[in-house]
């Protein structure tokens, strides 16, 4: 049996693992290896307790395209709802399926509990703190558009949510990249993620900077935002929209970053975190980015079950 590997956090990947997954996703995105069926004897379980369009479809379609069989679980399907522990659930599932792709929107510790066995790979399809597969799709998109990630400059605008956390960890692995986080006061990327990224940045020569204003925007290659209402979360203060309003990506922001393309992890709320003119404009690559979730998902599944081609 090939080695089973888990992807709960970007930090579960070595640099080589990260580069390998992104390069493989880029090959899929370019139309290469479309006939590959390395998961023909594999069963993939897909557990989503929260809504999803892109991630659920990407991993479901990706698994099927690679030749796997699929079992889907909704939020009320497993006996955890009647009191069975995560550990017991994992012990049972791991004897029947090969990979579990799970979106719980809960703490990482829950996914670690699923992964506390050696038979079944576990993929974090979004937890409360981190969205690692989104970051892998983002890096695939950047590679496809720019020919590589090294040296790319990114301005991330908006809430320091699980997408921003994963992007911070992932981009800092690449040589001489620059990530400028502009997040509303009280809604920044948690310091633990900044600290972890800075460890990588010291090794790679990357820059990670977080500020809580929109003054003096840097010259960048990419402007990136996410919706203000992250799936499964609520804001602690009732006037949060007033705090977020200056962090909208609009025509003025894009004009301050001439030559930059626009990225968004979707779904988008036009008129809130981004204007329609930007999201639907010629500089937007957001929908190619969404497509790359599918290509990246195939690369993740191959890596998890140890079937990635050399």
- pLDDT-derived band at 232 (thresholds 50, 70, 90) equals low
Please check whether residue 217 is in contact with residue 155, taking contact to mean a CB–CB distance below 8 angstroms. yes
**Mean pLDDT in residue range 254-264:** 98
Predicted confidence at residue 185, as pLDDT, reads 95
Q: What is the DSSP string of 14-63?
A: -HHHHHHHHHHHHHHHTTTTTT--TTTT-EEEEEESS--SHHHHHHHHHH
The class of domain 10-130+293-304 in CATH terms is alpha beta
Distance, in Å, from the CA atom of 274 to the CA atom of 276, rounded to the nearest integer, reads: 7
Phi/psi at 48 (5° precision): -125, 115
> Positive or negative CA dihedral for 43, 48, 54, 55?
negative
Please check whether residue 244 is in contact with residue 228, taking contact to mean a CB–CB distance below 8 angstroms. yes
Distance, in Å, from the CA atom of 54 to the CA atom of 293, rounded to the nearest integer, reads: 7
Residue 111 neighbours by CB distance under 10 Å? 26
Residues 6+ apart with CB under 8 A from 196: 11, 169
Average of per-residue pLDDT values in the chain: 95
The fraction of the chain above a pLDDT of 70, given in percent, is 96
Tokens for 174, please give them: 């690449």
Nearest to 293 by CA among 98, 135, 85, 96: 135
CATH 3.40.50.1370 residue spans of the chain: 10-130+293-304, 134-290
pTM of the model: 0.96
Distance, in Å, from the CA atom of 78 to the CA atom of 211, rounded to the nearest integer, reads: 42
Nearest to 180 by CA among 151, 156, 214: 156
Distance, in Å, from the CA atom of 203 to the CA atom of 214, rounded to the nearest integer, reads: 29
> Positive or negative CA dihedral for 280, 281, 282, 285?
negative
Tokens for 273, please give them: 């975190």
pLDDT in tens, 17-73: 999 999 999 999 999 988 889 999 999 999 999 999 999 999 999 999 999 999 999
Scored b (16 or more CB within 10 A) or e, 245-278 reads eebbbeeebbebbeebbbbbbbebeeebbbbeeb
Nearest to 120 by CA among 99, 101, 102, 91: 99
Give the number of residues written for the chain.
310
Nearest to 194 by CA among 204, 205, 181: 181
CATH topology of domain 134-290: Rossmann fold (3.40.50)
Maximum distance among all alpha carbons in the chain?
A: 55
Residue with tokens 């030559």: 259
With 70 as the cut, is the pLDDT of residue 84 above it? yes
Predicted confidence at residue 104, as pLDDT, reads 86
Beta bridge partners of residue 154, listed in sequence order: 179, 222
**Mean pLDDT in residue range 126-130:** 94
Please check whether residue 207 is in contact with residue 178, taking contact to mean a CB–CB distance below 8 angstroms. yes
């Amino acid at each position: 049996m090939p080695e089973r590997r888990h992807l709960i956090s970007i930090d579960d990947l070595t640099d080589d693992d990260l580069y390998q997954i992104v390069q493989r996703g880029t090959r899929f995105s370019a139309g290469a290896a479309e006939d590959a069926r390395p998961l023909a004897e594999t069963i993939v379980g897909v557990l989503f307790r929260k809504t999803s369009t892109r991630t659920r479809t990407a991993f479901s379609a990706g698994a099927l395209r690679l030749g796997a069989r699929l079992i889907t679980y909704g939020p009320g399907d497993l006996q955890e709802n009647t009191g069975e522990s995560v550990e017991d659930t994992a012990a049972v599932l791991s004897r029947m399926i090969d990979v579990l792709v799970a979106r719980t929107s809960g703490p990482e510790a829950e996914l670690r509990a699923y992964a506390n066995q050696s038979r079944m790979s576990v993929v974090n399809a979004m937890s409360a703190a981190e969205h690692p597969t989104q970051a892998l799709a983002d890096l695939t998109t950047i590679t496809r558009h720019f020919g590589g990630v090294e040296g790319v400059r990114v301005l991330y605008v908006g809430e320091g949510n699980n997408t921003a956390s994963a992007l911070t960890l992932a981009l800092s692995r690449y040589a001489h990249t620059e990530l400028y986080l502009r997040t509303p006061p009280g809604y920044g990327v948690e310091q633990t993620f900044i600290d972890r990224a800075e460890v990588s940045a010291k090794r790679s020569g990357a820059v990670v900077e977080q500020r809580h204003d929109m003054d003096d925007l840097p010259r960048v290659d990419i402007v990136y935002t996410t919706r203000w209402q992250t799936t499964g979360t609520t804001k602690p203060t009732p006037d949060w929209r007033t705090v977020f309003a200056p962090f909208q990506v609009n025509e003025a922001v894009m004009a301050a970053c001439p030559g930059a393309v626009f990225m968004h992890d979707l779904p988008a709320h036009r008129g809130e975190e981004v204007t329609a003119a930007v999201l639907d404009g010629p500089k937007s690559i957001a929908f190619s980015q969404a497509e790359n979730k599918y290509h990246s998902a195939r690369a993740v599944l191959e890596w998890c079950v140890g079937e990635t081609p050399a």
